[in-house]
Amino acid sequence: MRTIIFISMMFLLARCNSPRPTHAQTAAAESPAGLKAPSNLMYADIDPFIRVDDLTTNEIIELFAKMHYADQQYRDSLNNGRKENEAFFLRKVRANDEANLKILDNIIRRHGWPQKTVFGEEAANTAWLVIWHHRDKRSVLCRHFELMEKAVNAGEMSATLFQKVNDEVEMLSPDQIDY
């Protein structure tokens, strides 16, 4: 019994402190030709390779609006659309989720976690939504966990939304890390 409790405690303590890869490749350096074929990204409605380094704050706010639209448009269709189109809608949802994550990673690399006072509440919530739609992948939840936690402490992110991410991290085991 003690062994089971000890192992359970180890999983809880591991949370997001699992080792990170040392050879992290930035999405900005990745070219379309370097993708593994076939890639879901080819079905995305938003360009995952957009360069965010030179965008103004207002342009990033507009980009978040586009990301939000791409995120939601086919999810609505999945719930309200015709069953024979379900495979198409699922492919678009997955492609847009993957593209949005690449864009968000680049924004965070350049600007940190999107703060409400800088980019607005919609952008901050869209950033969470992008992460949330990858909640089955512990590595994605943990990738920016510390930044999200700091944003919550600074009042720059919804504590309720962060708690949802935290709850998911606690439910997923460390062996679900997919780097």
Convert the pLDDT of each residue in 86-101 to its tens digit. 888 899 999 999 999 9
2 within some domain: no
pLDDT for 24 = 41
Report helix, strand and coil shares of the chain as percent, to nearest 5. Answer: 70, 0, 30
Contacts of residue 51, defined as CB under 8 A and 6 or more positions apart, other chains included, come to 28, 106
pLDDT for 20 = 46
List pLDDT tens digits, range 113-153: 999 999 999 999 999 999 999 998 888 988 999 999 999 99
- The residue among 153, 113, 150, 152 whose CA lies nearest residue 130 is 113
- Its pTM stands at 0.76
**C-alpha span between 137 and 134 (Å, rounded):** 6
157 within some domain: yes
18 within some domain: no
Amino acid (one-letter) located at 117? T
| Domain span holding position 144 | 53-172
**C-alpha span between 58 and 56 (Å, rounded):** 5
DSSP 3-state assignment of 177?
coil
Average pLDDT estimate for 36-45: 77
145 within some domain: yes
35 within some domain: no
- The residue among 143, 130, 133 whose CA lies nearest residue 63 is 130
Tell me: pLDDT of 29 over 80.
no
From residue 95, how far is each of 34, 41, 170, 173 by CA, in Å? 17, 5, 27, 26
119 within some domain: yes
Please state, rounded to an integer, the average pLDDT across all residues of the chain: 81
Scored b (16 or more CB within 10 A) or e, 6-38 reads eeeeeeeebbbeeeeeeeeeeebeeeeeeeeee
Contacts of residue 176, defined as CB under 8 A and 6 or more positions apart, other chains included, come to 136, 137, 138, 139
Please state the domain count of the chain.
1
66 within some domain: yes
pLDDT for 78 = 78
101 within some domain: yes
Q: How confident is the model at residue 77 (pLDDT cuts 50, 70, 90)?
A: confident
